[in-house]
A = this chain, B = another copy of it.
Amino acid sequence: MQGTGKFALERLADGLATRHGLGARERQALLALPGSVVRCRAATEIAPGDGDARVHFVIEGLLASARQLAGGRRQVSALYIPGDLCGLDRAVAPRRGWEVCASCDSLVLSLSRQAVTGIAQEHPPIARALWGETALQAGITAEWLVGLGRRDAKSRLAHLLCEMGLRLEAAGLGSRQHFRLDASQALLADVLGLTSVHVSRTLQELRGEGLAIARGRIIEVPDWPRLARAAEFEPDYLRPALAAASPPAAMMTVQGTGQATLG
């Protein structure tokens, strides 16, 4: 833990305000939220044990909410990029057996369940905003469900690249044609319900068709509409997320890689 997270709270307040139209009073309340900034290393679980009881606002990096099954099987149910709130659903409908882990070195603002539900109780507009965020995440989960159930590996991966491209672009982290997705192929496999071996092959297939080129963790999309067509991607479900303004320029500098750092 380090810092008070003032910048992070500002960014959280800005995000909710632009997406859900909050007033100055709610903004003030959000800025007064008690929370601590936590840095966590790649591939480690955040606050193992009581991670369920906390809500994490992603400042930098990439978080994954995953469930571990017997036999080493693992399934990721959501990815959270900077600006996202992770664990909202579990804050109001607790369930165990889920872990939150960082895909790369990440920086999060950790909020207690009580702080989040408390501020929602006192400020109806904030409750509405957080409810909306929960529903937005649910929409993304539903879309992933469709992919796992009815798309083959190629279009499933293509769909994920479309989604993450748009989300990262909306967050001010690169463009849909060029962004950094800081996830190993093993993590992608756990997102897509595949093996890492097959993710590797599928990635090469996409490259072979010129749909998406992955170099390291940078994704290059030469012809975005074509990728979207291959993925049967319909961005409608992301609309509320894309409505978000980019974070204020004073706070972020977008580098060539599309990776953001705090100013």
Contact = CB atoms under 8 A, between A and B. Distances in A.
A121 B88 CA distance: 19
Contacts of A135: 88-93, 134
Contact of A138 (B69, B94, B120, B137): B137
A92 B89 CA distance: 14
Interface residues of A, number: 54
Contact of A134 (B98, B124, B134): B134
B144 A145 contact: yes
B144 A94 contact: no
A77 B237 CA distance: 14
**Copies in the assembly, this chain:** 2
A150 B93 contact: no
Interface string A55-92: 00000000001010110011101100000000011111
A192 interface: yes
Contact of A146 (B77, B130, B143, B151): B77
Contacts of A96: 236
Top 9 nearest A-B pairs (CB, nearest first) are A149-B193, A93-B135, A148-B148, A89-B135, A138-B138, A131-B131, A75-B149, A77-B142, A95-B237
